[in-house]
């Protein structure tokens, strides 16, 4: 059996094709990614160019899936599509070219699926860890161990939002970094209270931004389901990215133009959170929301 999951994020639309065996074990066999930047003109409205890029991505997905006529396809929309005033027009246009209706999920459901995916890959134990999934429109935080979720919340502070509000120079000026940190202290005040109440074993990163860090770190076995980034290695990557210009980042291996634009906000956000946790451990999970959704579908 084959399952195709289309993750409609704020910056990226990604189709992942999973092969499922008779015992319901699965593996990702293919990935097709399109950078659409839905929030290019703001998170509350999909602009004309982004609208067309998103529709074109689904036309490409439709063409791709013709090679797999028996695959069950499901598309999930997150922060940008939750908030865009013209989302219904976009959903209709996408369905017209692909036959696929995007299902919009709320932040709580997104966090639940992230946890389910990460639990199968990362080193969760009896001690709580903080799971962090950075998107373009929102960031999900989950405090959980292997058995249960203690606390979870989605915040509208994705990197596309932060970029628009705080990156007013490139390289970013220290004043803007300070403004960002002050904003995060306020926006994440309830998360910070929760972190004080739990002894966090790991900071576990899922999805795009952490994949970029893992690629730049270059230490994880490509076949492993998770990897570690040591504090000194993270600091070196942090300094490299924050002190660089867009043009310098653009020539970095495995960094697309969209990632090169937004990755500074990602590492500033990660560093802010990492400094609030009394643990050196930064873990990158190979599984996240898409894998969590596959598990949910297989249980139905």
129 pLDDT more than 90: yes
DSSP string, 48-107: HHHHHHHHHHHHHHHHHHTT-TT-EEEEEE-HHHHH-TTHHHHHHHHHHHHS-PPEE--H
Among 131, 178, 138, which residue's Cα sits nearest to residue 162? 138
pLDDT digits (tens, 9 = 90+) for 208-240: 789 889 888 875 666 778 889 999 999 999 999
pLDDT reported for residue 220? 62
CA 235 to chain centre: 21
**CATH code 3.30.420.40 region(s) in the chain:** 2-104
Pairing between strand 226-229 and 282-285?
antiparallel
Report the chain's mean pLDDT, rounded to a whole number: 93
Average pLDDT over residues 250-270: 91
pLDDT reported for residue 163? 96
CATH 3.30.420.150 fits 108-289, yes or no: yes
pLDDT digits (tens, 9 = 90+) for 52-84: 999 999 999 999 999 999 999 999 999 999 999
Going across the sheet that includes 103-104, the strands are 26-35, 12-20, 2-8, 72-77, 103-104
pLDDT reported for residue 254? 74
**CA separation for the pair 22, 113 (Å, rounded):** 23
Residue tagged 């992230």 (tokens): 114
**CATH code 3.30.420.150 region(s) in the chain:** 108-289
Average pLDDT over residues 116-134: 94
In the chain, % of residues over pLDDT 90: 83
Indicate left, alpha or beta for 99 from its phi (over 0: left) and psi (-120 to 50: alpha): left
- Supply angle C-alpha 294, 195, 10, rounded to 5: 45
Domain spanning 2-104, CATH architecture:
2-Layer Sandwich (3.30)
Residue 173 DSSP label: P
Among 43, 39, 38, which residue's Cα sits nearest to residue 58? 38
Which range among 135-149, 241-255, 271-285 has the greatest average pLDDT?
A: 135-149
pLDDT reported for residue 181? 98
Q: How confident is the model at residue 300 (pLDDT cuts 50, 70, 90)?
A: confident
pLDDT digits (tens, 9 = 90+) for 134-172: 999 999 999 999 999 999 999 999 999 999 999 999 999
**CA separation for the pair 193, 72 (Å, rounded):** 42
Average pLDDT over residues 125-135: 95
């Amino acid at each position: 059996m084959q399952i195709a999951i289309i993750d409609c994020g704020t910056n990226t639309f990604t189709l992942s094709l999973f092969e499922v065996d008779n015992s319901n074990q699965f593996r990702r066999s293919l990935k097709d990614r399109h950078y659409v930047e839905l929030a290019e003109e703001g998170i509350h409205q999909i602009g004309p160019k982004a609208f067309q890029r998103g529709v074109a991505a689904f036309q490409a997905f439709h063409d791709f899936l013709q090679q797999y006529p028996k695959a069950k396809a499901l598309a999930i929309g997150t922060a940008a599509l939750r908030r865009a005033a013209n989302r219904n027009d976009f959903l209709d246009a996408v369905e017209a070219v692909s036959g696929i209706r995007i299902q919009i999920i709320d932040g709580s459901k997104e966090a639940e699926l992230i946890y389910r995916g990460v639990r199968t890959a990362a080193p969760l134990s009896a001690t709580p860890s903080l799971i962090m999934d950075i998107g373009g429109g929102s960031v999900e935080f989950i405090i959980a161990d292997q058995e249960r979720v203690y606390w979870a919340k989605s915040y509208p502070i994705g990197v596309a939002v932060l970029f628009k509000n705080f990156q007013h120079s490139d390289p970013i000026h220290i004043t803007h970094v300070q403004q960002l940190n002050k904003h995060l202290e306020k926006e994440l005040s309830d998360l910070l209270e929760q972190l004080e109440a739990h002894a966090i074993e790991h900071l576990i990163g899922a999805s795009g931004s952490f994949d970029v860090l893992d690629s730049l770190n270059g230490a994880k076995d490509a076949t492993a389901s998770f990897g570690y980034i040591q504090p000194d290695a993270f600091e070196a990557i942090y300094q490299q990215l924050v002190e660089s210009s867009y043009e310098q980042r653009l020539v970095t291996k495995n960094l697309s133009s969209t990632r090169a634009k937004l990755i500074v906000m990602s590492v500033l956000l990660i560093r802010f959170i990492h400094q609030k946790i009394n643990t050196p451990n930064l873990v990158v999970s190979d599984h996240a929301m898409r894998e969590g959704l596959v598990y949910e579908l297989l249980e139905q």
